[in-house]
Structures are given as C-alpha cells and as structure tokens.
C-alpha cells in the first residue's frame, strides 16, 4: 500500500510493528531481505519515506541525463510492497523519535507506534562553508529532485563547475557535460578520486577526462562563489585563480544523517554516525541503524551501497529469528564508469600492508593504468584499474585470500603483445570467495545454485542467489562459474549452433565469408556434423548469414531465390508477418516517421479497398492487417508504385529508426533528428542480422524518441551526437550504453557501420545486441576498443562490408513483383491457385475488422468449405 499522506489513525493490528524510517536503496534492501526470510507476514511494516517517490537506484542517478526516466530507476518488481503488505507513506519525513513511548512523529504531525524501529536515513551532501554557497545556481547532487533542478537551470547556461572530484563529483561532471555545459571539476586533494586511486591512477584518469573537454583543477580549494544579482557567476580558489561559471554543483562528500538519533539520545560517533554493534543495534535494543547513517563497530561510516545491503540483511534475519551474520566491516572495493572511463579499486589498493609490493603497468597514451599489490609470495592484496577494468571481476574475489596467484601478477596487467595477458578461470577462486559484492554471494553459493537447486542458466542463478542483480560487474565471472560447474557436473555444454553444426554462429559467419560458401547445402557438407538437410535452427541462421554477405559472395541477396527460399521461416517466405488467423500484415517503410499526405492517402485507399485493419505503431509506421497471402502481391504493387518499400517487419533486420521532430520544429531541439533518422534508416534498410534491429534519434537530451531503448540510439547534443548501443524493450528491457559522444555526422555513421557489422559477425543466433553486449568477452569496453579505437584492425573491413550492403541494396518487394517465378509462391493452396483460404474470416469491431477465431473449428468444417469453393470454381 502506497500513500502520500498518513492515515488519521493507525491500523489496528495484533502484529508487532516495524517502522522503517527512510526508503532509499538500503531501506528497500531491508524489505527485500525481510520478504526473503518468509517472515514478513508476521509483522506490520510501516515505511516512512521523506522523498515523493519510492526507492530508486541512486547509484545510477546520472543515467537520468542519458535518457532514463525516474520510473526506470525505481527498485523492485511492480507490486512488491503490496504483495508483502508493506505500508509505504511518501512525503512523510520523521521529525521526532520518542524512545520511551516507542513512537515516531512525522512533519505532518502523524504519530506511529513501533515495537522495532529501523533507521535508514542515509546521508546528506556536505556543502563547504564558502561565501555565496546559497546563491541561485548552486546545487547539490543527491536526489532526482536535485537533478530536475539542475536540468532546468542549465537550459540557458553555458558553464558549470563541480566542487569535488570524487565518485559523485565526477558523476555530476558527466551530467553537466551531457547537458552541453563547459565543465570544470575542482578537487582539494592533489588528484581525482583520492580515496580510490593513487597518484598514477589519478593522473591517468585526469588525462583521459581532460581529453574529453572537462577542465580539472586539483590541489585547490574553493574560496568563494562569485555572486552577481543574486546568482552564481564565478568561483575563486585558494590559490588566487578565478573562473567564470553559471552553475555550481557541490559534491564534496556526504555526512551521516544522524540528527534524529542525536535528538532522542542515541549514542553517536564523535565525527557523526549512529553507533551500532555487530548486529546493527543502537544503544537502544529496540532501534537499529543501517546504511550510511550507521557507525559500524570498526569505527567506519560506509558510503557504499554493498555494506548497507549487508547491514539490512543482518537486521532482517534477526527480526525473522534466523541466524544473522554479524556486520564487523565491509569490502570497500568498487567498480564504476565515470565520464565513460572504467575505474576500479579493490582490497589494499594503496599497499599499506607491511612488505607489500607493486606490479604496475601504465600507458599514458591510452589512459590505462593498472596496479596490483601483492605479497612477496605472490598473494594478491589489492589493486587499482583505470581505463581498462575488465579483470576486476576475477581479481577482486582473490584479494586477501593469502594464496599466491596461480599465474605471475604481471601477466594479469600487461596488454597483448607485451606479455600475453592471462584470464583467470573460475577454478582459481575458492568457494568462500565473494563473487557478487553487492549481495555478498560467494562462489560456493553460485555452485550450490547449479548443483543443489538445478539452475542451468545464468538468469536462473541470478534469480536464486541475487548475484549479478546489483551493479552487474560480476556477470562475466558469474557466467564462467555457471558454465564450469555445469561441465564439472557432467552436463555437456554444447556451444554449437545446433545438432547439425559444432560451430557457433560467429564461427559459421567467418567460414562462409572466408571460404565464400554461397549455399547452406555446401556449408553442411563441408563443415556439418550430421548428414541431412539441416534443421529449423541452422536453415534460417545460415540463410541470414548468406544474405548479409551476398555482395561479398557474389551471390543473389534476394531471400526468395534458389536454395535461399527454402531456408526461410514463414514470415520471410512470404515477405510478411503471419498473424493468428492465418492472414498477413503489410508494413511499408516510413523512414523517420515522415510521410507526405499523398502517401497517407495511398495507404488509406489500399486499406479500404482490401478491407485491412490499420494501426499506427510505436515505431512510427502504419501496419495493415488481414491480408490473405494471394493478396500480398496486389497490395504491394500499389504501394511500390506509390514509392513505398518493404518495412522488413518480417525479417531479422532493421525495422525502424524512430525520431522526434528535432530542431526543425521543437524549441528544445539542438540537431535535425528527422534528417538523421531518415539517413540512418535508408542506409541500413534490408540489413540482415542475427536478430531484429531497432533504432531512434532524439533531437535533444529530453529523449522523446526513446533512443536508449534501442539496439543503437542517437541523442543530439549541442556539440554533435551521442551514440548509445545495446538497448531494447520487450520482456527484458535494457537501457543502451554510451559508446561515443559529441560525434560529427560522418563520425556517427562510421561508428554505427562498424558496430552493426561487428555485431553481425560475432553475435549468436537470435541474440539481440543487448544480450550480445553482456555476453561478449570484455563487454562494452571491448566493443568500444574494436569499434571506436580499431584495436583489432578490423575497421576498414567492417566499413567495407557495410559499403557493399548499401551499394547492393534492393527492395525485396519491388524485386519480387518484377519476377514471375517469385510471385508463383503467393497462393493459399499450391494445387488450387486462385482459391482463397476459407479459414480466414473477419468480424467487425470499432469500424474495422478483427479475426473471427470462432469459425471452422474442426478439420471437417475446413474440408467441407474448401470442397464447396472448389466446386463453385469448377
């Protein structure tokens, strides 16, 4: 139950009442952990939230500026609170705790009694006491409301500055850069991220960030905010320097929100934080504190989410009467991406352990810095990774085990060509090694999910253990452990495409390309493992490969020619999507959603004359439903004559490039998104790929075209275009990741060419770009190195493949209409051409038609009707 205001009187209940004050990420994890124990129904749980919205992913806050909405950031499955009877009250900050009476009072004056009180009040941003800090244009960076305010204020400003060069400071700098502001970062310490990285790592990070156009000031403090007519107009530093700025974001650290505890007499630390014991109990046994507001027994206030999750789980288990793991400290390891730069820090990153030794690799040209801290015996103590953090997931679990690394440490940091880098397998990890730091899941727990709970896939293991559902940095290692455990259990993990081929789709692509094999029959004969005609898996897969490589193979690119026609599924076989009643849909391409009145009239006339159901889709097209197979050529003849092309709604190929109206019409637009969307759609139309491709172009950061939900999406900036890849909607939605930013038109096209061709070459059968990006070794960073930096020297090859496609493109329906042999397939009955399919019937609804699924319920009905039709024709 979620309400914005408290009820006038508390609910009458005999259950013990648990009051949770604060509903952020840690508060939400407490509710999840309590639900996981199975004991949630034994309590009345009241959640008092200060913010106007339920818990959201504060770690991913900056993604709001990349197109994610506040709703996208919400935590938990829909209906989670109601399913467990948790009462959530938004806009209900607690102002008083009466420990003697065991009640809390909200700012609105409502009082709630508790048996157990859990404080999850988090922290607040520290704003240095500098002159001018309260002027207009000065902000903190903590909540979605803060982001809304920054976005609105930045709309007509040019320069922004961030006070603080730590994690949140660089996140804020990325946000200002994304809003199109000239951006400065001011850090009092001599380097960026002083808590996480050393001097070498800080220098590599600084160099890379400055190359992106962000000005970095280190080793200086903010002296004052220059105020003009009540608004920030500049900053002065302790070294005498001054800069002009229209907007200032303070991100100089956080402080625990412990005022409620102070006011009610709970013990707090000398430097803040609600003092708790190893079970997260405060000085009052009825009161617990978790997350950033708590001072742990080791004297630390933990500002990371993973320790907060551990505290939340500890308290939930106690309330449920289950054995609770004591919280005596936590791993401060972290991996994140700041301004597009991978940064990771784990274990004893600064080598404070006596006798610690460093193994360092630094490449200032590439902005890569790697340091491993080891003992004299070769055991891993910690490390710092900047610019390339791919090894983080496998290295962090080995930290602090005391066991020497299975390979020389230098082989883990040197790049290819300088030492043959080694990738550690899961066998190097002990069972007690923590694989998922966010949810404290060990390798042993992952193995048990496979062997004891019969989880056979990574998604099943994620659901069983919660591993990989936090920051996601452990997914690659998680997948390796699951595969290794399945194989160790005697389960053969067949990596072949299907029973006919032992090769993966990517391997078959290269075989076809290198050996110039133009038929499925030849490929099966030379490289198959089974004799025969192939199967329903390899036929369309190989057909797609051959179609995508047709110009290279000097073969026909038309999917209805020769053997190619036999390889297609029903949709491709008839160049239309089969619907539930046996009819087909007709989907003409409308690039960018732009269409003339004349073409609209043609579509309307076709729909009217053939009695088709019409619908405007979310992809900015008009779909026509209800066509019989023999009507398809007649319909398309009229559409092609009017200038329409196939929209490829039936194929594993580009569907649409959606767009907003852009700078041509919209007062917020900064680039012509319609022109770019049309250009992209016409360039990539007909491109056959492992799965369907969708795209969108937004004319500004407001993201009206929803580009970050597409396989490749483009968002305009004042400096050009930002390119996002690997997004999708559907049953498992995923937001796309930023691949490159501030691109010119030519740079954008070149990178999309490379990205699409690299995906087509290496993806598995029916693998969307989102799944491919998460599966491929190295993930997004590897793709960036190949596509943007040309690390494998494939760029020219990929661009040439796309150029061949563009040159060779032909509209499949126009080509079909020009070939009588192809048209002969468009009949309902091969042995009775001209006879309509009697099973396709319609019934009226809302001035259109819908399938009538109630007719011809039996085979006898169908045969009887068909016989009658044949007699009438004779």
Q: Answer yes or no: is 500 a known binding residue.
A: no
Q: Is the model's pLDDT at 261 over the cut of 90?
A: yes
Average pLDDT of the segment spanning 608-637:
90
Look at the block and give the residue holding tokens 């694989």: 435
Q: Report the topology of domain 138-252.
A: FAD/NAD(P)-binding domain (3.50.50)
C-alpha torsion sign, points 288, 290, 293, 296? positive
Confidence of residue 857 (pLDDT cuts 50, 70, 90): very low
Token couple for 476: 């690659």
Q: Considering only CA atoms, give the Rg of the chain.
A: 31
Least confident segment among 81-90, 199-208, 440-449, 803-812: 440-449
Token couple for 102: 């065991």
Q: Is the model's pLDDT at 417 over the cut of 50?
A: no
How many angstroms separate the CA atoms of 260 and 145, rounded?
23
Q: Which residue has the higher pLDDT, 64 or 18?
A: 18
Token couple for 706: 């929803």
Q: Is the model's pLDDT at 137 over the cut of 90?
A: yes
Alpha carbon distances (Å) from 487 to 431, 436, 479, 529, 777: 17, 22, 12, 21, 19
Token couple for 611: 């009695």
Confidence of residue 678 (pLDDT cuts 50, 70, 90): very high
Report yes or no: 740 and 663 within 8 Å, Cβ to Cβ.
no
Give the 3-state secondary structure of residue 160: strand
How many angstroms separate the CA atoms of 561 and 575, rounded?
13
Report yes or no: 714 and 695 within 8 Å, Cβ to Cβ.
yes
Confidence of residue 450 (pLDDT cuts 50, 70, 90): confident
Listed in order, strand segments (DSSP E) in 364-481 are 368-374, 380-386, 434-436, 441-442
Query: Half-sphere exposure of residue 439, counting CA atoms within 13 Å on the CB side?
Result: 24
Confidence of residue 256 (pLDDT cuts 50, 70, 90): very high
Question: What pLDDT is recorded for position 405?
Answer: 85
Query: Half-sphere exposure of residue 795, counting CA atoms within 13 Å on the CB side?
Result: 14
How many angstroms separate the CA atoms of 271 and 60, rounded?
28
What residue spans define the domains of the chain? 2-124+256-319, 138-252, 331-423, 425-489, 505-561, 652-809
Report yes or no: 354 and 381 within 8 Å, Cβ to Cβ.
no
Count, residues in the chain:
874
At 466-491, the pLDDT tens digits run: 887 766 667 767 877 887 887 777 77
Average pLDDT of the segment spanning 196-206:
88
Assess whether the region 2-124+256-319 and the region 138-252 belong to the same CATH fold.
Answer: yes
Confidence of residue 492 (pLDDT cuts 50, 70, 90): low
> Which of the following CATH numbers is that of domain 425-489: 1.10.10.1100, 3.40.190.10, 3.40.50.300, 3.40.630.30?
1.10.10.1100
Average pLDDT of the segment spanning 808-826:
88
Report yes or no: 123 and 257 within 8 Å, Cβ to Cβ.
yes
Q: Which residue has the higher pLDDT, 341 or 100?
A: 100
Q: Answer yes or no: is 666 a known binding residue.
A: yes
Q: What are phi and psi of 578, to 5 degrees?
A: -70, 135
The DSSP letter of residue 397 is G
Q: Answer yes or no: is 704 a known binding residue.
A: yes
Average per-residue pLDDT for the chain: 85
Report yes or no: 584 and 574 within 8 Å, Cβ to Cβ.
yes
Q: Is the model's pLDDT at 652 over the cut of 50?
A: yes
User: Which class in CATH covers the domain with range 652-809?
Assistant: alpha beta
Report yes or no: 106 and 126 within 8 Å, Cβ to Cβ.
no
Least confident segment among 207-221, 706-720, 754-768: 207-221
Question: What pLDDT is recorded for position 547?
Answer: 84
Question: What pLDDT is recorded for position 402?
Answer: 82
- CB-count burial class (<10 Å; 0-12, 13-18, 19+) for 526: exposed
Strand arrangement, sheet containing 287-289: 2-3, 87-89, 44-48, 17-21, 116-119, 287-289
Question: What pLDDT is recorded for position 554?
Answer: 61
User: Which class in CATH covers the domain with range 2-124+256-319?
Assistant: alpha beta
Most confident of 56-60, 362-366, 523-527: 523-527
In CATH, what number does 331-423 get? 3.30.390.30
């Amino acid at each position: 139950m979620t309400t914005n205001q408290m009820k006038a009187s508390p609910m009458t209940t005999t259950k013990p009442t648990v009051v949770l004050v604060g509903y952020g990420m840690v508060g939400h994890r407490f509710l999840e952990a309590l639900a996981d124990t199975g004991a949630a129904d034994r309590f009345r749980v009241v959640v008092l939230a200060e913010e106007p919205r339920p818990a959201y992913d504060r770690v991913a806050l900056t993604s709001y500026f990349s197109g994610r909405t506040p709703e996208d950031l919400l935590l938990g499955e829909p209906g989670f609170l109601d399913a467990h009877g948790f009462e959530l009250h938004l806009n209900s900050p607690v102002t008083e705790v009466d420990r003697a009476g065991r009640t809390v009072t909200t700012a609105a004056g409502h009082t709630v009694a508790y048996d157990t009180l859990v404080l999850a009040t988090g922290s607040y941003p520290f704003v240095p006491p500098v002159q001018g800090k309260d002027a207009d244009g000065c902000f903190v960076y903590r909540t979605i409301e803060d982001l809304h305010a920054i976005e609105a204020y930045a709309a007509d400003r040019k320069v922004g500055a961030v006070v603080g060069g730590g994690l949140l400071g660089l996140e804020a700098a990325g946000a200002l850069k994304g809003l199109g502001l000239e951006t400065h970062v001011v850090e009092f310490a001599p380097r960026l991220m002083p808590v996480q990285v050393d001097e070498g790592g800080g220098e590599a990070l600084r160099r890379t960030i400055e190359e992106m156009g962000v000005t970095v000031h280190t080793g200086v403090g903010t002296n004052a905010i220059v105020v003009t007519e009540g608004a920030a107009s500049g900053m002065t530093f302790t070294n005498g320097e001054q800069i002009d700025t229209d907007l200032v974001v303070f991100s100089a650290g956080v402080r625990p929100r412990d005022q409620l505890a102070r006011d009610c007499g709970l013990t707090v630390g000398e430097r803040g934080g609600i003092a708790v014991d190893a079970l997260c109990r405060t000085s009052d046994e009825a009161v617990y504190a978790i997350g950033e507001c708590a001072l742990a027994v080791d004297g630390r206030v933990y500002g990371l989410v993973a320790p907060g999750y551990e505290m939340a789980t500890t308290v939930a288990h106690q309330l449920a009467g289950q054995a609770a793991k004591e919280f005596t400290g936590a791993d401060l390891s972290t991996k994140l991406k700041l301004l597009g730069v991978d940064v990771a820090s784990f274990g004893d990153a600064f080598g404070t352990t006596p006798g610690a030794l460093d193994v360092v690799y630094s490449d200032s040209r590439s902005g890569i810095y790697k340091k491993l801290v080891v003992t004299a015996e070769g055991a891993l103590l910690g490390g710092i990774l900047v610019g390339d953090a791919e090894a983080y997931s496998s290295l962090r679990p080995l930290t602090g085990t005391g066991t020497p690394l299975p390979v020389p440490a230098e082989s883990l940091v040197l790049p290819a060509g300088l030492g043959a880098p080694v990738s550690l397998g899961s066998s190097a990890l002990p069972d007690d090694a923590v694989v998922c730091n966010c949810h404290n899941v060990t390798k042993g727990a992952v193995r048990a999910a496979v062997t004891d709970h019969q989880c056979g896939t990574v998604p099943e293991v994620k659901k069983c253990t919660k591993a990989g559902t936090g920051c996601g940095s452990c997914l690659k290692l998680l997948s390796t452990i699951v595969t290794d455990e399945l194989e160790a259990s005697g389960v053969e993990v067949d990596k072949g495409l299907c029973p006919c081929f032992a090769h993966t789709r990517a391997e078959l692509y290269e075989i076809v390309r290198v050996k110039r094999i133009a038929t499925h029959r030849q490929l099966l004969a030379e490289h198959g493992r089974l004799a025969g005609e192939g199967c329903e898996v390899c036929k369309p897969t190989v057909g797609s490969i051959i179609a995508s490589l047709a110009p290279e193979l000097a073969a026909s690119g038309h999917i209805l020619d020769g053997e190619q026609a036999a390889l297609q599924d029903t949709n491709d076989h008839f160049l239309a999507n089969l619907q539930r009643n046996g009819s087909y849909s007709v989907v003409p391409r409308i690039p960018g959603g732009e269409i003339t009145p004349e073409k609209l009239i043609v579509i309307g006339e076709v729909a009217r004359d053939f009695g088709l159901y019409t619908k405007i889709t979310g992809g900015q097209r008009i779909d026509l439903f209800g066509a019989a197979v023999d009507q398809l050529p007649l319909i398309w003849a009229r559409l092609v004559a009017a200038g329409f092309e196939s929209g490829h709604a039936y194929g594993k190929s580009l569907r649409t490039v959606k767009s907003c109206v852009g700078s041509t019409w919209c007062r917020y637009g900064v680039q012509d998104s319609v022109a770019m969307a049309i250009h992209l759609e016409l360039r990539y139309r007909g491109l056959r790929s492992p799965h369907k491709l969708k795209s969108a172009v937004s004319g500004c950061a407001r993201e009206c075209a929803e580009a970050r939900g597409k396989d490749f999406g483009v968002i305009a900036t004042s400096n050009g275009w930002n390119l996002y890849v690997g997004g999708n909607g559907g049953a498992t939605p995923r937001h796309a990741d930023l691949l490159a930013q501030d691109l010119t038109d030519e740079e954008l096209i070149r990178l999309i060419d490379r990205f699409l061709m690299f995906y087509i070459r290496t993806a598995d059968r029916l693998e969307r770009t989102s799944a491919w990006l998460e599966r491929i070794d190295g993930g997004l960073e590897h793709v960036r190195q190949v596509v943007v930096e040309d690390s494998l020297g494939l760029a020219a090859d990929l661009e040439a493949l796309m150029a061949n496609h563009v040159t060779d493109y032909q509209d499949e329906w126009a080509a079909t209409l020009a070939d009588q042999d192809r048209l002969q397939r468009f009949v309902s009955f091969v042995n009775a051409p001209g006879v309509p399919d009697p099973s396709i019937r319609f019934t009226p609804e809302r001035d259109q038609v819908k399938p009538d699924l109630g007719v011809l319920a039996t085979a006898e009905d169908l045969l009887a009707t068909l016989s009658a039709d044949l007699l009438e024709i004779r």
